[in-house]
A and B are shown apart, each in its own frame.
Chain A
Amino acid sequence: MDKTINVTLKVWRQRGPKAKGAFETYKLNGVSTDSSFLEMMDQLNEQLISERKEPVVFDHDCREGICGMCSLYINGHPHGPDEDITTCQLHMRKFKDGDTITIEPWRSHGFPVIRDLMVDRSAFDKIIQAGGYVSVNTGGAPDANAIPISKEKADLAMDAASCIGCGACVAACKNGSAMLFVSAKVSQLALLPQGKVEAARRAKAMVAKMDELGFGNCTNTGACEAECPKNVSISNIARLNREFLCAKLKD
């Protein structure tokens, strides 16, 4: 039941944002195929600590695929070769004995490396702060059932809202574009009557912030959607374009 494999890891190590990084190669034996990828990384770190070396730094938290903290560009794919999951849900049974696994941080101008595999994704927070909300204060909200919302729209909004803000879309995009992330939030709120009121303002503000922060331009390659662990659709990007262009035309 408990099968183990031996793997070779090529891990990106970098002291700080300005330091020069390089790959280090580590051999790791006896990895259970039932382990998750991050448990394998824990095992690597335990091995490094036992050799009195500094462990590899990587972001992780909930380990159940929802917090969006884990990242890692594994063998050419953000969140690794398996589909519809984050790195923490990737399991070692997807790898074979003797495999070499290359592990890199998200690489994008918008996400500078902090150390090793950890990157700074605060740009996403800044984009949300620019307008990714409904301007409503606590208290005084009307009854939740006061405005009926069609199930279809609510479901579409939910699909867009399932974005976990991990940044895999930016990491996967050859243009380093954050359009899928931005469009998911704009779509979620534009689809709902509560968010529709300030949809135009929101779309303009969020796109302006996205551009300002140096994310690239979307060229509709669809890599973001293909690598998104939550299957957020690029149709949201079309909706964002629509919202944005209509808002600009009205000006």
Chain B
Amino acid sequence: MSSIGKKTIQSITGGALILFLTFHALMNIFVIISPEAYDAICEFLGANWYALVGTVGLAALVVLHFIFAIVLTVQNYIARGSERYAVSARPKGVEWSSRNMFVLGLVVIGFVVLHLLNFWYKMQLQEILGNELEMSGAEFVQDLFSHPVYCILYMIWLVALWFHLQHGMWSAFHTLGWNNNKWIPRLKCISNIYTGIVCALFFCIPLYYLIINLIA
């Protein structure tokens, strides 16, 4: 497969994941606005066949994105040559995140595993297995974030996620060829704002519980 082909897969899977995160964030925010509504959504997205198909598809996206990231990174490492520069400087105008996408990606995926253990394992998986849930969705969230450590871990994670996304989003458009001189700064700006909003929505939740717990 050509280099651009591999990059295209990264862009499409990445773009789909951004869309997923958008919906995920929009739903999550209800946990602090209205726990009942949040539980209703959890109910709705339980173990239906379409939710299951969605979950499998999502997992496939993540796996593809991850595998291609590894392939690309290994190839890029080899392409750099055997000898490294003794002195290197980051040129002006080059985002830090763009040079560290793989590392950021690793941080993100590490937390995804934690996140799945924290929630998905206890919620959707149990439903699939036909087990009775211990508590409602909102209660799970409240339970986890009652530990300030988790709040802070999640907040760090979300910052890393934002760095990954803000480069990933405009980069995906660029790789798919939807860019030109005029749109490069515009797309970068849109990416920063859009992914900023998505991550901020997520960020609100641990922040909210952290403050609540501190006040209590």
Let me know if A226 and B86 touch, CB within 8 A.
no
Contact of A107 (CB < 8 Å), options: B80, B91, B98, B99: B80
Let me know if B81 and A107 touch, CB within 8 A.
yes
B-side interface size class: 35 or more
Let me know if B94 and A107 touch, CB within 8 A.
no
Q: Which of chain A's residues have a CB closer than 8 A to the CB of B180?
A: 235, 238-239
B197 to chain A, nearest CB (A): 22
Contact of B176 (CB < 8 Å), options: A175, A176, A241: A241
B130 interface contact, C-beta 8 A: no
Let me know if B91 and A235 touch, CB within 8 A.
no
- Please judge, given known A-B contacts A211-B2, A215-B79, whether A221 and B179 are in contact too, CB under 8 Å: no
Let me know if B89 and A104 touch, CB within 8 A.
no
Q: How far is the CA of A77 from the CA of B76 in the complex (A)?
A: 19
Let me know if B80 and A219 touch, CB within 8 A.
no
Contact of A235 (CB < 8 Å), options: B95, B101, B184: B184
Contact of B79 (CB < 8 Å), options: A10, A77, A109, A172: A109
A76 interface contact, C-beta 8 A: yes
- Please judge, given known A-B contacts A219-B101, A222-B93, A238-B179, whether A75 and B83 are in contact too, CB under 8 Å: no
Contact of A216 (CB < 8 Å), options: B79, B89, B98: B79
B8 to chain A, nearest CB (A): 6
Q: Which of chain A's residues have a CB closer than 8 A to the CB of B115?
A: none
Most interface-central of B2, B4, B174, B180 (chain A CB within 10 A): B4
Nearest CB in chain B to that of A214: its residue: B79
Contact of A208 (CB < 8 Å), options: B2, B82, B87, B181: B2
User: Chain A's interface: helix, strand, loop or mixed, by majority?
Assistant: mixed
Let me know if B94 and A221 touch, CB within 8 A.
yes
Could you say which of A85-93, A128-136, A137-145, A242-250 contacts chain B? A242-250
Let me know if A221 and B99 touch, CB within 8 A.
yes
Most interface-central of B5, B6, B81, B180 (chain A CB within 10 A): B81
Q: How far is the CA of A125 from the CA of B81 in the complex (A)?
A: 19
Q: How far is the CA of A113 from the CA of B83 in the complex (A)?
A: 10
Q: How far is the CA of A108 from the CA of B88 in the complex (A)?
A: 14
Let me know if A107 and B85 touch, CB within 8 A.
yes
- Please judge, given known A-B contacts A75-B87, A223-B91, A241-B4, whether A217 and B99 are in contact too, CB under 8 Å: no
Let me know if B179 and A176 touch, CB within 8 A.
no
Q: Which of chain B's residues have a CB closer than 8 A to the CB of A215?
A: 3, 79
- Please judge, given known A-B contacts A238-B179, A245-B176, A248-B5, whether A76 and B87 are in contact too, CB under 8 Å: yes
B18 to chain A, nearest CB (A): 15
Q: Which of chain A's residues have a CB closer than 8 A to the CB of B98?
A: 219-222
Within 8 A of B (CB), among A151-210: 172, 174-177, 179, 207-208, 210
Q: Which of chain B's residues have a CB closer than 8 A to the CB of A233?
A: 181, 184
Please tell me the number of chain A residues within 8 Å of chain B, measured between CB atoms.
54
Q: How far is the CA of A108 from the CA of B3 in the complex (A)?
A: 17
Q: How far is the CA of A237 from the CA of B179 in the complex (A)?
A: 9
A216 to chain B, nearest CB (A): 3
Let me know if B175 and A220 touch, CB within 8 A.
yes
Q: Which of chain B's residues have a CB closer than 8 A to the CB of A239?
A: 177, 180
Let me know if A237 and B174 touch, CB within 8 A.
yes
Q: Which of chain A's residues have a CB closer than 8 A to the CB of B175?
A: 218, 220, 241
Let me know if A174 and B80 touch, CB within 8 A.
yes
A21 interface contact, C-beta 8 A: yes
Q: How far is the CA of A207 from the CA of B76 in the complex (A)?
A: 16
Q: How far is the CA of A107 from the CA of B88 in the complex (A)?
A: 11
Q: How far is the CA of A225 from the CA of B179 in the complex (A)?
A: 15
Q: Which of chain B's residues have a CB closer than 8 A to the CB of A211?
A: 2-3
- Please judge, given known A-B contacts A107-B83, A108-B81, A238-B180, whether A174 and B76 are in contact too, CB under 8 Å: yes
Nearest CB in chain B to that of A100: its residue: B87
Within 8 A of A (CB), among B171-210: 171, 174-181, 184
- Please judge, given known A-B contacts A76-B87, A223-B91, A244-B4, whether A108 and B176 are in contact too, CB under 8 Å: no
Q: Would you give the 0/1 interface string for A46-59, flagging 1 where the beta carbon is closer than 8 Å to chain B?
A: 00000000000000
15 contacting pairs across A/B (C-beta < 8 A): A104-B87, A107-B84, A109-B80, A176-B79, A177-B76, A217-B7, A218-B7, A220-B98, A223-B90, A223-B91, A234-B174, A238-B174, A240-B177, A241-B177, A245-B4
What 7 A-B pairs are tightest by C-beta distance, nearest first? A242-B177, A216-B79, A76-B89, A176-B79, A226-B91, A175-B76, A238-B179
